[in-house]
Chains A and B, each alone.
Chain A
Amino acid sequence: MTTLSAPLNVEFDYTRSLGPVLGRFMTGLRDRRIEGIRGDDGRVHVPPVEYDPVTARKLTDWVEVASAGTVQTWAWVPEPDEGQPLTHPFAWALIKLDGADTAMLHAVDVPGPEHMSTGMRVRVRWAAEPVGSIHDIACFEPGEAVETEPTQGEPVTMVTTPVRLGYTHSASSEEARYLNGLLEGRLLGQRCPVCQKVYIPPRGACPTDGVPTVDEVELPDRGTVTTFCIVNVPFLGQRITPPYVAAYVLLDGADIAFQHLILGCDASEVRMGMRVKAAWRPREEWQRSLANIDHFEPSGEPDAPFETYSQHL
């Protein structure tokens, strides 16, 4: 079986609006103050919750709590991961701050797991440069609360949260054969053994029959524009200056069209039924990608009659 895989990175800095409760909590952290909220059953929640877990009622009764507390439970992290509070081994702990009735999850900085125990006393180690996020608590460390210099500023209303996740994306074996064909400048589709339709790119399963497409069918690099739009709008990551045409191209012998660019003529000249041929990039630039075809351009043949492609709209 041919297999192909490549990294897929999902990375984004999310911009989160906090609302009144979380905003006040984050503002407090920025000012080196920890505030909880009293629930309908009298429990003080730290971090504060916006709605009572039992009654679902909106909560508004604020309570300031201490910056030291007791470890309720913990787990050791021998190999810290990206984004975690410490870069050397540490413990995660649920810590109940003095004055709170619920525990907050954070890191405790100790040299090894032998220094951790449930019931131990820990205090906040504040970040040097607080910004209004949970990271304003750099971590916890063994000990009792100490006086801190409060800071002050504008209320915190937003927090930016970077997310970085790495994946390995794999192609199906059918897709891999097609991609390897593209590397050689060939357009390899496959025929579904049940409905006999030719798919390009081929599919792990024929979408109407649920069986893998099998027989390979090499297709020519020319076809018909079934339908299209003229892109007039600039957007992020765009590679050509508008206006240009994104069209569905039905290769001769294929039973399904794919989207590609139509260049080599004025955008206003492109029409449904126009015959086009592939404009390949220079061979030395070829990769396992349909982008080896830079675009399609008019072939000069007469337009295809509407009936020949009307079933592909």
Chain B
Amino acid sequence: MRDVAVVGFAQAPAVRETHGTTNGVEMLVPVFHEVLGNLGLAKSDIEFWCSGSSDYIAGRAFSFIAAVDAIGAFPPINESHVEADAAWACYEAWVKIQTGEVDLALVYGFGKSSAGKLRRVMTMQLDPYTVGPLWPDSVSVAGLQARAGLDQGKWTEQQMADVAVRSRADAKSNPRAQLKGDYSAEDLLAEPYLADPLRKHDCAPITDGAAAVVLAASDRARELSERPAWITGIAHRVDSANLGGRDLTTSPSTVGAARDAGFDKVDVAELHAPFTHQELLLRQELGLNGTRINPSGGVLCGNPMFSAGLIRIGEAARQISSGQADRALAHATSGPALQHNLVCLMEGRD
């Protein structure tokens, strides 16, 4: 395998609603400017582009096509797109670099979650014959998972509130975060249920956003970054689609992806957990004891659909590049109740 590192990362501010179009151009133009500018690169230096987004978030077919306007994609670019969180675009770009065909890739994702009614839009991911027609929404589906863990004693409402409190406190140092501040678990637990057993603080906010990550191979990475975040392993797996056939309190796909990626021990982890109990679940499944979790505040403080997973990779890489961590884990999820999971392990080398 070739040495590949994350050398650049930029994200749009996570906000409840932008005024821009659903094609992401307004959010992406400054993000590309920042990520390329910081590296002293021009668009023509990028040998492969890969993006992640969703037509159902935008409410129209082929919504990703207009996004390439933000690149200024002429002369033509070597490009691909996944209909998934851009963390999977990052995986595709890493694979592309592994073929030896390219050395430098830019990965981006975007989504204007505020355009539709997000929890209803996400119903469109469910089995279209026996589940989707009933219109269970994404918060309720997460609620089914949360209760299963509560009933089995895998986590408590107190622990869930503690996750929200810690996340919002950490987000105070994240200028891009949407939710931040000092809260007490006691106050949060006094709030009414949104979808019993979930309260508002248990659910990620609705966020418009975009992000970009630059990947580079070996010498190119060393030229571009003082301390590249070397990817030591990246893998993903999917679980069964049958919600009632899965043990919702476990995540075999996360465990399998972590094993494939060579997971051992890390200083910091950025977990893509849009619900508080999902962070607790992932920590248990990965055995993350004593590991610093989500210093960025995580997606509970800003959850731009289809770039939130990529942002975990960017944030974890930043921990390494800044010298705050030597080994980091980034996790991304996709699908209802953590169906599809990706793990990216990175390290700094001195």
Task: Indicate if A touches B (C-beta under 8 A).
Answer: yes
Q: Which residues on A are within 8 Å of B, measured CB to CB?
A: 1, 3, 5, 8, 10, 14, 16, 18, 22, 25-26, 43, 45, 47, 49, 53, 72-78, 81-85, 92-96, 102-107, 113, 118, 133-135, 159, 161, 163, 165-173, 175, 203-212
Interchain CB contact under 8 A, B244 and A1: no
B134 x A106 contact (CB < 8 A): yes
Interface string of B126-139 (1 = CB under 8 A from A): 00111111111100
Contacting A at CB under 8 A, from B137-193, are 137, 140-148, 151, 193
B217 to chain A, nearest CB (A): 24
Evaluate contact between A169 and B59: CB separation under 8 angstroms: yes
Please tell me if the beta carbons of B116 and A53 are within 8 angstroms of each other in the complex.
no
Please report the C-alpha to C-alpha distance between residue A1 and residue B26 in the assembled complex, in whole angstroms: 12
CA distance A93 to B197 in the complex (A): 12
A53 touching B240, Cβ below 8 Å: yes
Query: Pick the contact of B140 from A16, A77, A95, A163 — CB < 8 Å?
Result: A77
- Contact of A206 with B72 at beta-carbon distance under 8 Å, contacts A72-B148, A75-B144 already known: yes
Provide the B111-130 mask, 1 if CB < 8 A to any CB of A, else 0. 00011110011001000111
Residues of chain B lying within 8 A (CB to CB) of residue A49: 242, 245
The answer on a CB contact under 8 Å between A159 and B129 is yes
* Distance, CA A103 to CA B69, complexed state (A): 46
**Which of chain B's residues have a CB closer than 8 A to the CB of A118?**
147, 151
Report the count of interface residues on B (CB-CB < 8 A): 60
> Among A73, A134, A208, which residue has its beta carbon within 8 angstroms of that of B148?
A73
Q: Which residues of B contact A95 (CB under 8 A)?
A: 244
Is B37 engaged at the interface, CB distance under 8 Å to the other chain?
Answer: no
Given the complex, which residues of A lie within 8 Å of B73, measured CB to CB?
207-208, 210
Closest-by-CB residue of B relative to A50 is: B129
Select one of B60, B70, B129, B243 contacting A22, CB under 8 A: B129
Complex: chain B residue closest to A43, CB-CB = B245
Q: Smallest Cβ distance from A287 to chain B, in angstroms?
A: 19
- Complex Cα gap A79–B116 (Å): 18
The contact of B242 among A8, A53, A135, A167, by CB within 8 Å, is A53
With both chains docked as a complex, state the minimum distance between the C-beta of B238 and any C-beta of chain A, in angstroms: 11
Residues from chain B with a CB closer than 8 A to the CB of A93 are: 144
Complex partner residue of B60 from A8, A83, A175, CB under 8 angstroms: A8
Whether B134 contacts A85 by the Cβ 8 Å rule is yes
- The smallest C-beta distance from A204 to any residue of chain B, in angstroms, reads 4
Binds A, one of B14-22, B255-263, B309-317: B14-22
Q: Nearest chain-A residue to B121 (Cβ)?
A: A165
Please give the distance in Å from B39's CB to the nearest CB on chain A: 16
Contact B120 A81 (CB under 8 A): yes
The chain B residue with its CB closest to the CB of A168 is B115
* Contact of A103 with B133 in the complex, beta carbons under 8 Å: no
In the assembled complex, the CB of A235 is this many whole angstroms from the nearest CB of chain B, namely 17
A77 near B195 with CB under 8 A, answer yes
A residues in contact with B114, CB < 8 Å: 168
Q: Which residues of B contact A82 (CB under 8 A)?
A: 135
The complex places the Cα of A305 from the Cα of B147 at a distance, in Å, of 73
B245 in contact with A134 (CB, 8 Å): no
| CB contact under 8 A between A53 and B143, given known A81-B135, A83-B133, A165-B121 | no
From B68, B69, B137, B144, give the contact of A74 (CB < 8 A). Answer: B144
User: A104-B130, A165-B117 are known contacts. Are A211 and B72 too (CB-CB below 8 A)?
Assistant: yes
Q: Does B25 contact A (CB under 8 A)?
A: yes
Residues of B near A22 (CB, < 8 A) are 129-130
A286 to B51, CA, bound (A): 39
Instruction: Pick from A8, A75, A94: contact of B197, CB below 8 A.
Output: A75
A-B contact pairs, 27 of them (CB 8 A): A1-B19, A10-B59, A22-B130, A25-B130, A75-B141, A75-B196, A75-B198, A77-B140, A78-B193, A82-B135, A83-B135, A92-B136, A104-B244, A105-B131, A159-B133, A161-B132, A165-B120, A167-B58, A167-B59, A167-B115, A167-B116, A172-B25, A175-B21, A208-B73, A210-B71, A210-B73, A211-B29
